[in-house]
Amino acid sequence: MKFKILSILAISLLISCNSSEKNKENKRETEREEILDTLAYQPEEIKAEMLRSWDAYKQYAWGYDVLLPLSKSGFNWYEESLGISPFDAYSTLAIMGLDKETKEIEEYALSKEWNQDIYVQVFEVNIRILGGLLAIYDDTKNEEILKKAIDFGNRLLPAFDSPTGIPYHSVNLKTGATSGNLGKGDGKVVNTAQAATYLFEFGILSYYSKDPKYYQAAKKATKAIFERKSEIGLPGDFINIETGEWVNNWSYLQAGMDSYYEYLFKSNLLFPDPEIQEIWEYSLEKINQYYAEEYDGKQFYACVNMHSGEIVKRSMSLYDAFFPAIQALHGDIENAEKNMATWDWLWNKYGLLPTRYLYDVDSIEYANSELNPEIIESAYYLHQITGKQKYLNMIYGYWKDIKACCRNEVAFNSIEDVRTMKEKDHLATYFFAETLKYFYVSVVDKNEFDFNNYVFNTEAHPFKKSNFNPEKSKIRLGIN
Ligand code: DMJ
């Protein structure tokens, strides 16, 4: 009897906890609906916040890679600074028409020498520094900047000199020596995103330098991943670049694989390549067949075994929130909207996205949140493509929440734990490149920035489609 009473008590406690959780979520949503009018922001506000944060970087961290906004100091990724933040900030400042600041960065980029005796992560510097340099060139057409981009690209190329054509994890900018020693396993292992997120920047570099070698190296690496797909057509998540063998057999959309898929699609928008187009179509079909699942009435994209397709983990990392944008641009509005609804639900549950959440057990795996842009990016694409006000409303809500939890005396900071909103002394470089850019272009007039005219790299550096002539692309990139 005692046991029965205890069980009833436990069950009712569980029900009441669940329903109070649900009530909390519903309340947040209702609140958001009710105060939407007061949430709308103007582009000037984002511009002012960009300037304020940029000034803080200049004042406290100039010369360093990133700003530490709480201790008001700077931090470097490696033993020597690469000075990354300015490369990421340029294209956002340019869209905002902040000419004095962009001129300063252009001069800074011209003064930069890359002959540094340090090993840098090929993936990260490609999307941020090479992507940033190319965005400066695209905007200014300053040939000296193009020379800097070519010089930087040439310093990355030795990394691709491997038995498979997949780049080593890192390369020494001065000597061209490669090192896999920051990777997993035996030190020659990279994840799929590190292996094959180069088509876009290397394609632009080939186009402007008129030398196909960059695009061809990127394409070889991409095909090396695709050709090693499993018997059911899925790539794995970690590969040995020398043997070409998978060292892990999971497959997913999350960080570690995300931008491999992103570039299969996006590079075609600038440089149509039938081979890559075919790989993308094939891969999308597999994503929908194996990763996608409806769970508890929502659309999720799970981690699966690359050989059997069986679900191995039901999780979502905030990076995979980029995917509704891709689905929408590809034309799969139905799945894009379902997927976006899931991300918005998770944001509303915590008031920010945790880095990783396990949706089957309703639990956070990694609770930090680093001002990442992906959910804003997807809401922006969906608003542009469907014209539905609800997506702009989501963006208004995200801005309100970020201001409430992350705005500090000098700029913005990351969060250690979304459950407590404990602050973290870090401002990632992509906050300048992506997060503030997406907030800005979501509300700015079409005359100032027209979504339809641009394709963004994975770091949100925008490239004008009309700058790239398809016929010239074929010759300059060596596309058959
Ligand atoms: C960015 O550096 C890039 O978008 C990258 O592809 C993964 N995500 C981070 C920001 O979250």
What pLDDT is recorded for position 316? 97
- Report which of 189, 212, 215 is spatially closest to residue 202, judged by C-alpha positions: 215
What is the residue-level pLDDT of the chain in tens, covering all 480 positions?
444 444 444 444 444 445 555 565 566 565 555 556 678 999 999 999 999 999 999 999 999 999 999 999 999 999 999 999 999 999 999 999 999 999 999 999 999 999 999 999 999 999 999 999 999 999 999 999 999 999 999 999 999 999 999 999 999 999 999 976 554 445 599 999 999 999 999 999 999 999 999 999 999 999 999 999 999 999 999 999 999 999 999 999 999 999 999 999 999 999 999 999 999 999 999 999 999 999 999 999 999 999 999 999 999 999 999 999 999 999 999 999 999 999 999 999 999 999 999 999 999 999 999 999 999 999 999 999 999 999 999 999 999 999 999 999 999 999 999 999 999 999 999 999 999 999 999 999 999 999 999 999 999 999 999 999 999 999 999 998
Which residue is closest in CA terms to ligand 1's atom 6?
Answer: 458
pLDDT number for residue 38 = 76
CA–centroid distance, 449 to ligand 1, in Å, is 22
Ligand 1 centroid from CA 456, angstroms: 12
Q: Please tell me whether residue 311 adopts helix, strand or coil conformation.
A: strand
Ligand 1 centre to CA of 322 (Å) is: 9
Strand partners, 246: 239
What pLDDT sits at residue 39? 85
CA distances from 217 to 27, 195, 434 (A): 52, 11, 27
The conformation of residue 355, written as its DSSP 8-state character, comes to S
Pocket of ligand 1 (CB under 6 A): 127, 259, 319, 372-374, 430, 458-459
User: What is the 292 CA–ligand 1 centroid distance (Å)?
Assistant: 22
For the question of whether the overall pTM of this predicted structure is more than 0.85, the answer is: yes
Nearest CA to ligand 1 atom 11: 372
Altogether, the residues listed in the chain come to a count of 480
Ligand 1 center–CA 378 separation, angstroms: 13
Which residue lies with its CA nearest to atom 10 of ligand 1? 372
CB distance 157 to 149 below 8 Å: no
Residue 24: per-residue pLDDT: 58
Which atom of ligand 1 lies closest to the CA of 372? Answer: 11
